[in-house]
């Protein structure tokens, strides 16, 4: 069973239960399709082993949740976006002490892995998936939606216990705690507009002046979408911005020769766009793809994953691979788990041994 909270009085009645909990299981349901910032549609909480609480933010202010979420220990699954949404709405960072998705990455289960798969693997239970893409803005919620939402927090406590045992047996508690702390820290980090252009497909093929134009266009587009709270692609797609950077049109009429050019860009926004194209500022450095080097480092991290059980994506995220290849370093907990052999290999001081059986193949 689950309790649906849709009035201030009902929410006030459960605050004591939340404030006194030894641990809170947390999940949210949200929509992202029509806005820059996800729209919160439901908050699911479970205090210890009590019944799940489904709090309806479309009917009641969730401001009172700021206290318990920021002071009580919280367990989540893949909770970065949940934490970002609640931080923006409540002004506090949920006190996340355990993320089952991160824990699974330290328990030899890979990363990222869906909640349903972890529940099947570690608890031997089946979770229905039918409401994953449900319309959570619809009221009243259906019984299927309520059951699905409640299940997400019902399983987190038992899953936490199972994963804790696996991680403790491997002696990886400190690494897991550090990775979880990184998730919480990332909740309040604003995106870097100056580097956003490097993630645009085709950016690596542009010359110096074109790169400067694209950097300005992407930074402007992303700021505008945040300020207006609309999806980035509703203002201009990546492909349109690359086309503008390449052609550098000198008039609104020239802008419109691209049949996919949004009308508002060549009307309301034309003066701003044309000014950026005429005076884009200094050119950023080329994107260093170094695909071969990246792939070799990633392969080495896979070997460490096989040895340690820690998912390579947690050991060495893609951004850290690029950082290493340009002379940077990684955080101490990653350094300890990757080991000196790995870094000696990165420096070119030694070979890296791929263990027997790492590559499985059959000759037919």
CATH number at residue 234: 1.10.150.80
Tell which of 278, 303, 326 closes a domain.
278
Q: Is residue 244 part of a domain?
A: yes
CATH of the domain at 174: 3.30.420.10
Domain match, 38 and 170 both: yes
Write down the pTM of the prediction: 0.86
Q: Is residue 156 part of a domain?
A: yes
Q: Is the peptide bond preceding residue 112 cis, with omega within 30 degrees of 0?
A: yes
- Reported confidence tier of residue 321, pLDDT bands at 50, 70, 90: confident
Token couple for 235:
């203002």
Domain match, 7 and 113 both: yes
Residue 316 neighbours by CB under 8 Å, 6+ apart: 297, 298, 301, 324, 330, 334, 338
CA atoms in the 13 A half-sphere facing the CB of 164: 9
Give, in order, the Cα–Cα distances in Å from 228 to each of 36, 224, 278, 286: 8, 6, 25, 31
Q: Is residue 361 part of a domain?
A: no
Q: Is residue 358 part of a domain?
A: no
Domain match, 232 and 311 both: no
Residue 31: give the domain boundaries. Answer: 3-186
pLDDT in tens, 92-125: 999 999 999 999 999 999 999 999 999 999 999 9
Domain match, 164 and 46 both: yes
pLDDT in tens, 259-285: 989 998 889 999 999 999 999 998 887
Domain match, 223 and 115 both: no
Domain match, 82 and 165 both: yes
Euclidean distance between CA atoms 92 and 312, whole angstroms: 31
Tell which of 278, 299, 333 closes a domain.
278
Domain match, 137 and 87 both: yes
Domain match, 198 and 113 both: no
Domain match, 205 and 227 both: yes
DSSP notation for 8-56:
HHHHHHHHHHHHT-S-EEEEEEEE-TT-SSPEEEEEEEEETTSPPEEE-
Q: Is residue 363 part of a domain?
A: no
Q: Is residue 364 part of a domain?
A: no
Tell me the average pLDDT across 145-157.
Answer: 96
Tell which of 128, 158, 186 closes a domain.
186
Average pLDDT, the chain: 90
Euclidean distance between CA atoms 115 and 307, whole angstroms: 25
| Structural domains in the chain (count) | 3
The pLDDT value given to residue 346: 78
End-to-end Cα separation, the chain, in angstroms: 55
Rounded (to 5) percent helix, strand, coil in the chain: 55, 10, 40
H or E, element range at 99: strand 96-99
Domain match, 60 and 176 both: yes
Domain match, 164 and 236 both: no
Euclidean distance between CA atoms 9 and 306, whole angstroms: 52
pLDDT in tens, 222-262: 999 999 999 998 999 999 999 999 999 999 999 999 998 99
Domain match, 149 and 207 both: no
Q: Is residue 354 part of a domain?
A: no
165-173: long-range pairs with CB below 8 Å, 24+:
166/103, 166/106, 166/107, 166/108, 166/122, 167/103, 167/106, 167/107, 170/106, 170/107, 170/108, 170/308, 170/309, 172/106, 172/308, 172/309, 172/310, 172/337
Q: Is residue 286 part of a domain?
A: no
The pLDDT value given to residue 358: 53
């Amino acid at each position: 069973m689950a309790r649906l909270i849709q009035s201030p009085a009902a929410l006030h009645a459960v605050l004591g239960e939340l404030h006194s909990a030894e641990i809170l299981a947390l999940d949210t349901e949200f929509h992202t399709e029509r806005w820059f910032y996800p729209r919160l549609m439901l908050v699911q909480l479970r205090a210890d082993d009590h019944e799940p609480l489904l709090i309806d933010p479309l009917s009641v202010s969730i401001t009172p949740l700021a206290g318990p979420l920021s002071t009580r220990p919280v367990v989540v699954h893949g909770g970065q976006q949940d934490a970002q949404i609640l931080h923006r709405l409540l002004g506090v960072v949920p006190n996340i002490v355990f993320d089952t998705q991160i824990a699974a990455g330290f328990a030899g289960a890979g990363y990222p892995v869906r909640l349903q798969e972890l529940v099947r693997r570690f608890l031997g239970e089946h979770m229905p998936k039918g409401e994953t893409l449900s319309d959570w803005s619809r009221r009243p919620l259906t019984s299927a939606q309520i059951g699905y939402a409640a299940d997400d927090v019902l399983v987190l406590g038992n899953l936490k216990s199972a994963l804790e045992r696996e991680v403790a047996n491997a002696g990886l508690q400190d690494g897991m705690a550090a990775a979880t702390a990184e998730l919480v820290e990332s909740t309040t980090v604003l995106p870097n507009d100056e580097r956003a252009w490097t993630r645009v497909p085709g950016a690596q093929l542009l010359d110096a002046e074109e790169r400067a134009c694209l950097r300005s266009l992407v930074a402007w587009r992303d700021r505008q979408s945040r300020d207006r709270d609309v999806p980035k692609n509703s203002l201009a797609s990546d492909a349109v911005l690359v086309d503008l950077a390449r052609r550098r049109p000198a008039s609104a009429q020239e802008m419109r020769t691209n049949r996919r050019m949004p009308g508002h860009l060549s009307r309301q926004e034309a003066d701003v766009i044309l000014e950026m194209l005429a005076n884009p500022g200094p050119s950023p450095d080329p994107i260093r793809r170094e695909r071969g080097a990246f792939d070799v480092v990633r392969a080495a991290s896979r070997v460490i994953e096989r040895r340690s059980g820690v998912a390579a994506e947690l050991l060495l995220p893609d951004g850290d691979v690029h950082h290493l290849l340009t002379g940077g370093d990684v955080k101490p907990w990653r350094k300890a788990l990757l080991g000196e052999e790995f870094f000696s290999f990165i420096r070119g001081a030694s070979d890296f041994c791929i263990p027997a059986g790492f590559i499985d193949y059959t000759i037919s």
